[in-house]
Structure 1
Amino acid sequence: MSTSTADVPPSITSFETIGIKNKRVNEAPGVKLSPDHKLLVGSVLDLFEGNPTLKHLSLWSQDATFADPITVASGYKKFAAQWYGLPALFNPIQIQSHLVTSTGNPIQMELSNKYTLKGIGTAQIINSVVHIDVGQNGKIERVEDRWNDRLPNGMISDAFRKLNAQTVPMFVTIPKDEEEDLKLKNSRDGSS
């Protein structure tokens, strides 16, 4: 993880210092995010669009969790592998729409995302409700991507989701420093 932003709270970072592309965060009527929370939501939108960087992940607690219907990834190596694996499988990934519907904790957002399978070109739109839990340190503690506002539950689905979180890091490269991260980002941007 980048040492320059690893311990910096979101309140002294900005869209520019993190390199967030999704600067326009849509809020439902009556919903007003704080600047820090807007930064977190913009960074999560970038991740969902297949634009992970070490700076984006510096906004996450080291022991945070990412959960969706196919994985429960707790701890930096596991959740980072999920985000870096996304652009390895899908290109392009295009946000169709998003709307922050609640500023509580968790922050709640409706998200429609179009994923196109690399090499095959098959596209799928997934509509989900995303929950972003923020810790007292201002960093992301948990992100849940609830497809059609659901997460599976049960012993078998939980076992499969945890197995996925264990195996993905074996196949996905997580950059060790800013230089590796930049090379990876440039290769992604060049292949678009």
Structure 2
Amino acid sequence: MSVPEIVIKTRQAASGQPGETAEVRQVTTTEDMHPDPSKSIKLPPNRQKLIDDVIALYSMEPTVERVSRYAPSCVYDDQFVYANNRYKMACQWFALPKLFAASRNEGYEIIHNSQNLIQFKNEQTWELLGVGSLKPITINALVSLSLDPATSDSDFPLITYHKDQANEKDYSHGGIGFILKKGQADIVPKLFLDKDSPVHFFKEDDLPEKPVVKHGSGTNAPTKDF
């Protein structure tokens, strides 16, 4: 299957569910988010390939096919970025090599696998570009991948909401911090990606923005122990 066929297929197969409606909310009481790969839940081949592609994206190996793992109306949400469609999210992955010298996956542990949700503990080491005096930064995070119900059992399941939490709190989607996160998703394509970047394959996914779901606090989500 060629890359254009993959993208066309994902657009046709997606349920159309807005990413905002698929957000998983959680405040974790787990102090140790260091992954133990030996305890990782074994996934079926279609889902393991999805995780392999996501880990490759974290490790600065973006391709059009890997970005096509996301539904057009997806949301990517971490401590630095809120990108609310596939084009903006794709810009983040393709811009990483412009911002970091290296990104290395130290290991992951699948801790939850259900019909429309995969969660894993992830450890990633980042080296900033052009800042040789600083030590690499290693981050342990809880990653939650909400899956499109129309494709969750297919050979090519799609992600509708990608949440990356580096501490116990959830995101409120309010305040100056959120304004900066959302603004970053708009600025990156303009500053770091040229006209020849593969990211422009997804330009037609630059969909009209949907209302952001605000939660009032990052501590009022359900408490979960991982």
TM range (shorter): 0.7 to 0.9
Instruction: Provide the C-alpha distance between the structure 2 equivalents of 1:120 and 1:166, rounded to a whole number of angstroms.
Output: 25
User: 1:83, CA displacement in angstroms?
Assistant: 0.7
Find the counterpart in structure 2 of residue 157 from structure 1. 177
- Identity of matched residues, %: 24
Query: What secondary structure sits across from 1:119 in the alignment?
Result: coil
The residue identity in structure 2 corresponding to 1:127 is N
Q: Does 1:140 align with 2:152?
A: no
Instruction: Provide the C-alpha distance between the structure 1 equivalents of 2:164 and 2:71, rounded to a whole number of angstroms.
Output: 18
Q: TM-score, normalised by structure 1?
A: 0.75
The residue identity in structure 1 corresponding to 2:144 is H
In the TM superposition, what whole-angstrom CA distance separates every residue of 1:19-67 from its partner, at most 9, and x where no partner exists? xxxxxxx5735x2322221111111100111111101011111111111
In the TM superposition, what whole-angstrom CA distance separates every residue of 1:111-149 from its partner, at most 9, and x where no partner exists? 111100112133111110101111022211111111124
The residue identity in structure 1 corresponding to 2:176 is I
List gaps (5 residues or longer) in structure 1. Answer: 10-25, 178-192
Give the alignment of 1:31-180 within 5 angstroms: 31-104=41-114, 105-121=116-132, 122=134, 123-136=136-149, 137=151, 138-153=157-172, 154-173=174-193, 174-175=197-198, 176=200
Instruction: Provide the C-alpha distance between the structure 2 equivalents of 1:151 and 1:52, rounded to a whole number of angstroms.
Output: 27
Instruction: Provide the C-alpha distance between the structure 2 equivalents of 1:7 and 1:99, rounded to a whole number of angstroms.
Output: 32
The residue identity in structure 1 corresponding to 2:123 is S
Instruction: Provide the C-alpha distance between the structure 2 equivalents of 1:27 and 1:44, rounded to a whole number of angstroms.
Output: 19
The residue identity in structure 2 corresponding to 1:7 is I
User: 1:100, CA displacement in angstroms?
Assistant: 0.8
User: 1:151, CA displacement in angstroms?
Assistant: 4.1
Task: Count residues with an aligned counterpart.
Answer: 159
Find the counterpart in structure 2 of residue 18 from structure 1. none
Query: What secondary structure sits across from 1:144 in the alignment?
Result: strand
In the TM superposition, what whole-angstrom CA distance separates every residue of 1:95-116 from its partner, at most 9, and x where no partner exists? 1121111112321110111100
Compare 164-173 and 144-153 and name the one that shifted more.
144-153
Instruction: Provide the C-alpha distance between the structure 2 equivalents of 1:167 and 1:27, rounded to a whole number of angstroms.
Output: 40
List gaps (5 residues or longer) in structure 2. Answer: 11-36, 152-156, 202-226
Instruction: Please give the root-mean-square deviation of Cα atoms over the aligned residues, in Å.
Output: 1.9
Query: What secondary structure sits across from 2:130 in the alignment?
Result: coil
